[in-house]
Amino acid sequence: MTLNRRTFIGTGAAFAATLSAPMVMGQARSRVVVVGGGAGGATAARYIAMDSDGAIDVTLIEPSRTYYTCWFSNLYLGGVRTFDSLGHTYGGLAANGINVVHDYASGVDRDAKTVTLAGGGTIPYDRLILSPGIDFKEGSVPGWDVTAQNAMPHAYKGGSQTQLLKAQLEAMPEGGRFIMVAPPNPYRCPPGPYERVSMVANYFKENNPTAKILIVDPKEKFSKQALFEEGWQKHYSGMIQRIGPDFGGANVSVNPAEMTVDVDGVVEKGDVVNVIPAQMAGKIVHSAGLNDGDWAPVNAEDLSSKMDENIHILGDSAAQGDMPKSGFSANSQAKACAMAVRAALTDSRAFPPKFSNTCWSLIHAGEQPDGVKVGANYEATEEKIASTGGFVSQTGEDATTRVDTYRESLAWYDAITSDMFG
Ligand code: FAD
């Protein structure tokens, strides 16, 4: 072959590209596949892509084109936030070099190391990260299943269910009754149902002041109970009643056609009934055989599955130890996992992970928002992610502290969503 100037420049450019690329020619980039573009999955995908300098090929599989946060969805019910303000898209992740596939992962072949898509196609992985959130346990509230979710919404996954519950609250007759069937432990966002009650009450106080709220609860105690009960007494006196397990709260069935809740043989009629069933790890975790009972056991250090070292499980689905199932926790776990995966695939260093969580709740809005919080720091031990100490708002705090606490939560919302989506 005669080298002319054009071929010489072309060859030289290719040669230079080979030298400067982060991987050696002929050696494929390591492949990480992430299932679920929520708090855990979006964060993990973003951190691996961002910190691996092109050495890792990251694919994110998520069916929804817009992720609506569950956090602050109660504030939308309370009339404090718009629905649109909860929505986030995946364009920023795609711009970061992540291959965003809007599809549903229907199966994992752990021997072949592939993920199958519902829409057709198979994606190979070197490491797989699963962060599919929760699914509901069938039969946990007799009379309720997914076909009843339009009559009795759960509103415990983000998006259309939250909008439906809001529309039902707005259509409620004057002086009507809202009933919540609260979930048993463990479930996503321990204070979530009680913040929801607070925000529904906030909405009623403004729009339907003679309406009533009944909580039917299988649990003896719940997160931030003293703070919520103090706040309900202060802001919504006489509006909220709770039936705990001592009075039949654990023996409940529903009739969506009649809009009734049977509490230990006593039939309660509701105008709006919010059923939050018992929960388990997302279905893909079960179909991949990575669960032990309802949840997926993981190693604390890197959130790797105790059943498959090439798979990591984050967020609500993981049985990791002391961290509550929250978006903050999932985001924190995702960063530890991303560091470990990057280290394993590119020979970079991993440091001992530190985890943290804070759950804020808004009890009352208005001129002086009444916000409270609970949180803790955690470290990885041989056995689990273990708490190293926590904090919680105090009853009787002054109004300024509560306003400041609410403001912190607003800053956190912006910080976590930009940490997830760029
Ligand atoms: P998710 O964020 O739910 O993400 C899972 C994603 O996986 C979803 O987008 C889903 O579409 C996708 N997916 C599922 N299966 C598949 C599949 N097979 N293939 C592809 N994709 C799949 N947390 C806080 O930190 N602070 C709060 O104030 C707070 N408030 C809350 C209030 C309410 C009312 C609720 C319900 C929750 C609240 N949470 C809060 C909890 C928080 O929403 C969850 O803990 C968090 O979203 C868990 O993250 P995740 O990644 O495990 O799951």
Instruction: Specify the pLDDT at position 5.
Output: 35
Do both 269 and 284 map to the same domain? no
Q: Where are the beta strands (DSSP E) in 283-420?
A: 296-297, 311-313, 318-319, 354-364, 370-380, 385-392
Do both 122 and 166 map to the same domain? no
Do both 289 and 345 map to the same domain? yes
Q: Is 34 within 8 Å of 129 (Cβ atoms)?
A: yes
Instruction: Give CA–CA dist 109/291, Å, rounded.
Output: 15
Instruction: Specify the pLDDT at position 242.
Output: 98
Candidate from 46, 60, 70 with most ligand 1 atoms within 8 A of CB, to mutate: 70
Instruction: Specify the pLDDT at position 347.
Output: 85
Say how many C-beta atoms besides its own lie within 10 A of residue 230's C-beta: 18
Instruction: Specify the pLDDT at position 51.
Output: 86
- Give 359's strand partners: 374
Average pLDDT over residues 265-278: 98
Instruction: Specify the pLDDT at position 28.
Output: 81
Do both 118 and 195 map to the same domain? no
Task: Look up residue 172 and give its DSSP letter.
Answer: P
Q: Per-residue confidence at 13, pLDDT binned at 50, 70, 90? A: very low
Q: Per-residue confidence at 16, pLDDT binned at 50, 70, 90? A: very low
Statement: residue 18 has pLDDT above 70: no
E strand or H helix at 241 = strand 240-243
- Give 304's strand partners: 312
CA 329, 330, 336, 337: dihedral to nearest 10 degrees? 150
Domain containing residue 107: 5-135+279-421
* Residue type for position 175: G
Q: Per-residue confidence at 25, pLDDT binned at 50, 70, 90? A: very low
Do both 396 and 283 map to the same domain? yes
Q: Is the CB of 67 under 6 A from ligand 1?
A: yes
Average pLDDT over residues 10-15: 32
Instruction: Give CA–CA dist 275/213, Å, rounded.
Output: 13
**Residues 6+ away with beta carbon under 8 Å from 249:** 182, 216, 217, 218, 219, 242, 243, 263, 264
- DSSP string spanning 298-359? B-TTT-BBSS-TTEEE-GGGEE-BS--S-HHHHHHHHHHHHHHHHHHHH-------EEEEEE
Q: How far is CA 94 from CA 46, 59, 251, 330, 367, in A?
A: 9, 10, 47, 21, 40
Q: Is the CB of 371 under 6 A from ligand 1?
A: no
Share of the chain above pLDDT 70, in %: 94
Give the end of a domain, one of 254, 275, 296. Answer: 275
- How far from chain centre, in Å, is Cα 399? 30
Tokens encoding 195 = 């913040």
Ligand 1: centre distance to CA 157 (Å): 7
Q: Please, what is the average pLDDT of the chain?
A: 94
Do both 129 and 201 map to the same domain? no
Q: Is the CB of 52 under 6 A from ligand 1?
A: no
Instruction: Give CA–CA dist 185/292, Å, rounded.
Output: 16
Do both 169 and 252 map to the same domain? yes
Give the end of a domain, one of 228, 246, 275. Answer: 275
Average pLDDT over residues 272-289: 98
Instruction: Give CA–CA dist 52/34, Å, rounded.
Output: 15
Instruction: Specify the pLDDT at position 92.
Output: 97
Average pLDDT over residues 192-212: 98
Q: What is the pTM of this model?
A: 0.94
Give the end of a domain, one of 225, 242, 275. Answer: 275
Task: Look up residue 48 and give its DSSP letter.
Answer: H
Statement: residue 9 has pLDDT above 80: no
Q: Per-residue confidence at 272, pLDDT binned at 50, 70, 90? A: very high
Ligand 1: centre distance to CA 223 (Å): 19
Instruction: Specify the pLDDT at position 71.
Output: 98
Do both 177 and 130 map to the same domain? no
Atom index in ligand 1 nearest the CA of residue 329 equals 25
The torsion angles phi and psi of 313, rounded to 5 degrees, stand at -130, 125
Tokens encoding 155 = 């509103």
Report the number of distinct structural domains present in the chain: 2
- CATH at residue 154: 3.50.50.60
Q: Per-residue confidence at 208, pLDDT binned at 50, 70, 90? A: very high
Q: Is the CB of 61 under 6 A from ligand 1?
A: yes
Do both 397 and 290 map to the same domain? yes
Do both 82 and 180 map to the same domain? no
Do both 154 and 106 map to the same domain? no
Do both 399 and 315 map to the same domain? yes
Average pLDDT over residues 125-152: 98
